[in-house]
Structure 1
Amino acid sequence: MHHTLARARRTFAAAGLVAACAVLPSAPLSSAAPSSGTALRTAAAAGGCDVLAPGASAAAEAAVRAACSQLGVWYSWGGGHGPQPGATYGQVDPTDPASNHDPERRGFDCSGLVRYAYAQATGEDILNGTANSQYHSSRVTARFGAGQGTGPLLPGDLLGWGGANSIHHIAVYLGAGKMVEARQSGTHVMVSDVRLGGDYNGAVRIGGSPAPSGTFSTWGTDVWTHVEPSTTSARVSKFAGPTRVKVGCQKHAQLVEADGYRNDAWSYLPDYQAWITNIYIQGPAWLDGVPTCA
């Protein structure tokens, strides 16, 4: 999702930066020992970790089952960010005393688990990065605001917590209000109820292929384009749901407030000969790789 003016691009993670999950509101911690192999799959089934609703793509369902296969593996800060997707020993998070044993624990942090799940599902390492970079990946094909709850979500969608361009935690939706996550140090990969309060930011849906250069996806429902970069100008086209669009250029114009976001950036869509506020285009507030309109 996107975009306040504060969502202007920031380099959130340099190469090799640990993709950590912040300590989250407390919940009963699991004391179970890590599992492996067949025991993991048995634990996943026993823990209700599976595709719990219809409608998801085959890749998304495979990602759910890959994440569920790791049920019971340690949370480990920085785990899962080795050269290849998969559990690794973690690091000490200087802000979290509970992580002191993470260098001894082979496991995943939140984004490490998501990376592994989609690598197993697609055969490609398509989400190698932080929770924030995964949430804003070019592989995102649909985006859902926090206010939409879990109603429009499908298994395999990724739920994110944090600010506009500072997502600090990410989890895989199962359906039926449940998710699988690597939550925080001292716990194991677990099934949880979706937490819609606090700094829950929304969810994204992952596709198999990145968008062509200069092509982005809109989000939201019944989103109008306009003749000029202003909501008071005449309407041109309405996007009933997420739509792939070619963006020719972008410029600063009318400041728009919508769906909890503020942004003065507008994009010109040459195929529609119309403008759309960048609030409804997936990506940062000022789109990467798109030139400024003359």
Structure 2
Amino acid sequence: MTTRVYPDRRRTRPLWHLAFLLALLGALGSFAGADRAHAAPSCQVLAGGSAPQAAEAVRQACTLIGTPYSWGGGHGSAPGPSYGICDASNGAPNDCHVRGLDCSGMVRYAYFLATGADVINGTTRTQWATGRAVARFYRSQGTALLLPGDLVFYGASPSTIHHVAIYLGQGYIAEAPYSGGHVQVAALASHGDYYGSIRLYGPGGGGQPPTPDPAPGRYWVDTFANASVYASPTSTASTGTLFQGTNYVYCKAWGRRIVNGSSHNRWWLKTDPDSGPAGQWVSAYYLSRWGNDEARDNNGTVIPNC
């Protein structure tokens, strides 16, 4: 059998081919360098000006990097990682087997570690509405006013807010993103529906007046428990739930009497619940600060009739 010897084709390639390969490798190196230049920074306080509590909350959030996301995780009686909720319809088919934090559970835990107090409990919507905010910013104001430690929220309206993260500065956030993910650093703009931000502690630890709500006609109230909502003040079929915490209502109407022992109320408040359609009614019985047949907001203002 004749053995054929094939020439080494690498030795016969012309010099222009070698030059092309070198240029291609250089271009690829440039692209890789550009990717590295735009990669998310390490988790840390990326700007000055925050209150000490807020800066510490950022540092504590950074210690949580890599913690598994778990839908409903972090909402136990005390802040911290917990097993979540399995709900395939919400993209969380296995989260009751995952010990971790969801987005609101993460920011709750970060501020607890920073301050030693449970200052921002609740879901994203109740956190947005908290009366603890010393400043409130909206999408129309841009993001230049934000400081590290501010909580940034995403959604089209207060009733559709679905995500919260903690601002690091320079356009970056720490977030618990989604089922199957982990606490991470991301760009604030990586979610396209930024709604607004709240500040829990003013620069230097002091307070400052909140930015006026651009949607007048809402009254902020505290509710002491999760409450069923109804299509009208006389309905008996629940249409959803308003979660415990600070919520907004629009107006009041007289309806069926809710009684529990010596406590009772016949005023009903129009609101946008956390689950169910907007424009539903909740009993003023659930107001934390007022007595029988009273319907006032947190400042003591009588809620107007619808």
Task: State the TM-score bracket (shorter-chain normalisation).
Answer: 0.5 to 0.7
Equivalent pairs counted in the alignment come to 188
CA 1:191 to 1:265, structure 2 compared with 1: closer, same or farther past 3 Å? closer
| Percent of matched pairs sharing the same residue | 44
Structure 1: any 5+ residue segments left out of the alignment? 1-45, 209-215, 221-257, 267-281
What amino acid sits opposite 2:297 in the alignment? Answer: D
State the partner residue of 2:211: 219
1:130-279 alignment runs, 5 A limit: 130-162=123-155, 163-195=157-189, 198-207=192-201, 217-219=209-211, 261=215, 263-264=216-217
State how far apart, in whole Å, the 2-side matches of 1:264 and 1:104 are. 43
Tell me if 1:66 matches 2:75.
no
State how far apart, in whole Å, the 2-side matches of 1:171 and 1:165 are. 17
State the partner residue of 1:291: 302
Check conservation: 1:182, 1:188, Cα contact below 8 A.
yes
1:83-98 alignment runs, 5 A limit: 83-97=77-91
CA 1:130 to 1:293, structure 2 compared with 1: closer, same or farther past 3 Å? closer
**CA deviation after TM superposition for structure 1 residue 105, in Å:** 1.4
State the partner residue of 1:124: 117
State how far apart, in whole Å, the 1-side matches of 2:53 and 2:196 are. 21
Check conservation: 2:133, 2:210, Cα contact below 8 A.
no
CA 1:197 to 1:48, structure 2 compared with 1: closer, same or farther past 3 Å? closer
What amino acid sits opposite 1:103 in the alignment? Answer: C
**CA deviation after TM superposition for structure 1 residue 82, in Å:** 1.2
**CA deviation after TM superposition for structure 1 residue 155, in Å:** 0.2
SS state at 2:46 partner: coil
State how far apart, in whole Å, the 2-side matches of 1:107 and 1:265 are. 35
SS state at 1:144 partner: strand
State how far apart, in whole Å, the 2-side matches of 1:94 and 1:197 are. 22
Greater share of residues in helix: 2
State the partner residue of 1:254: none
**CA deviation after TM superposition for structure 1 residue 66, in Å:** 1.0
SS state at 1:284 partner: strand
TM-score normalised per structure 1: 0.58
SS state at 1:165 partner: helix
CA 1:265 to 1:132, structure 2 compared with 1: closer, same or farther past 3 Å? closer
State how far apart, in whole Å, the 2-side matches of 1:133 and 1:52 are. 27
Check conservation: 1:180, 1:191, Cα contact below 8 A.
yes
Larger RCO (CA under 8 A, 6+ residues apart): 1
**CA deviation after TM superposition for structure 1 residue 159, in Å:** 0.4
SS state at 1:140 partner: coil
Check conservation: 1:67, 1:114, Cα contact below 8 A.
yes
State how far apart, in whole Å, the 2-side matches of 1:147 and 1:95 are. 33
SS state at 1:111 partner: helix
Structure 2: any 5+ residue segments left out of the alignment? 1-39, 203-207, 220-245, 251-295
